[in-house]
């Protein structure tokens, strides 16, 4: 199955704690269910909700485990 293509405007519509999508390196992730487990706290995710979070994600230097979790939340490509 080919990845679903998601428009930037659609991602932007998902920017609340109960419906949170973000973009990292051209891929779209639904992190709604992960927000309560995010080690950096929910505010970090809410700050980039509905937008491109590539730079903040890469700047932190996430572990391989964090990248695997993110990959499991992928819902499409931008």
What is the Cα–Cα distance from 27 to 75, expressed in whole angstroms? 8
The pLDDT tens digits for 1-55 are 567 999 999 999 999 999 999 999 999 999 999 999 898 889 999 999 999 999 9
* Architecture of the structural domain at 8-77: Roll (3.10)
- Counting every residue written for the chain, the total comes to 78
Compute CA distances 78 → 4, 8, 14, 47, 56, whole Å.
9, 7, 14, 19, 18
In the chain, domain spans? 8-77
> For position 7, what pLDDT does the model report?
97
- Assign 73 a pLDDT band (cuts: 50, 70, 90): very high
Quote the pTM value: 0.92
């Amino acid at each position: 199955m080919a990845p679903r293509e998601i428009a930037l405007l659609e991602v932007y519509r998902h920017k609340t704690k109960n419906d949170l999508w973000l973009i990292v390196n051209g891929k779209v992730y639904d992190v709604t269910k992960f927000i309560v487990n995010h080690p950096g706290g929910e505010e970090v995710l809410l700050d980039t909700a509905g937008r491109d979070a590539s730079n903040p994600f890469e700047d932190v230097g996430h572990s391989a485990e964090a990248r695997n979790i993110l990959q499991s939340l992928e819902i499409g490509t931008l």
